Amino acid sequence: MDRRELLRTIAALTGCAFVGADRAFAAVPDADAYTATQVALLDEIAETILPRTDTPGAKDAQVGAYIARYSAACYTPANLAVLRVGLGEIDARARKTHGAEFVKCTSTQKQKLLIDVGAEAKRHTHESSGNGERPPHWFTLCKQLTLLGFFTSEAGATRVARYRPVPGPYKGVVAYKGETFWAW
């Protein structure tokens, strides 16, 4: 099973239950929540999680801008702060480990950094499973929004996921045979 198939399966099985869904229409996004540099960093992180192959990647779907818009509008101030601090941490870690900021690292270096951060996020989740007051790890928030943003984008929904228009293609002129209507 390849990574994309696994991610699709996980997203489908969990019903895409993401942090912040209860606040989806609660607020107008804060235009100053993220700088252009932070949005570019979110794009690079998302592209490392879902890179372009023979199908579009997260950058093609502009997932970084989606994460910034969604988190600013829907996350609690505490979760938004966790995500923004995490962006600074990944950049600082990249500079310390590889001597360059995250967006300038090679794809192998980015993958290694995110694998390490993912392991930390998993430990964080296990440590805080009984404590409802501890906020989630920033990478968990980022990864969830990467999946949501990509698979709800046009590129993700039509070129990666199996797409079947419902109730089917448009047929402008169809002969009426007197049958009863269909209930879908």
Range picked from 33-37, 64-68, 154-158, 161-165 for highest mean pLDDT: 64-68
Q: What is the pLDDT of residues 76-98, one digit of tens each?
A: 999 999 999 999 999 999 999 99
Residues whose CB falls within 8 Å of the CB of residue 23, separated by 6 or more in sequence, listed in order: 73, 74, 75, 76
The C-alpha atoms of residue 100 and residue 91 are separated, in whole angstroms, by 8
Q: How much is the mean pLDDT over the chain?
A: 83
The SS3 assignment for 87 reads helix
What is the pLDDT averaged over residues 72-76? 93
Query: pLDDT tens, 10-66?
Result: 766 665 554 444 444 444 555 568 999 999 999 999 999 999 999 999 999 999 999
Above pLDDT 90, what percent of the chain?
A: 58
Q: What is the pLDDT of residue 26?
A: 46
What is the per-residue pLDDT for 44? 96
Residue 66 near residue 34, CB atoms below 8 Å: no
User: Distance (Å, rounded) from C-alpha 177 to C-alpha 109?
Assistant: 64
pLDDT score of 130 more than 70: no
Burial class, 29, CB count within 10 angstroms (exposed 0-12 / middle 13-18 / buried 19+): middle
Cα 46 to Cα 150: distance, rounded to the nearest angstrom? 9
Strand intervals (E) in 2-119: none
Residues in Cβ contact with 100 at an 8 Å cutoff, skipping those fewer than 6 apart: 94
CA–CA gap between residue 38 and residue 33 (Å, rounded): 10
50 to 77, 105, 109: CA distances (angstroms):
27, 17, 15
- With tokens 């990509």, the residue in question is 150
| Cβ-contact 4, 160 below 8 angstroms | yes
Q: Which residue has the higher pLDDT, 45 or 6?
A: 45
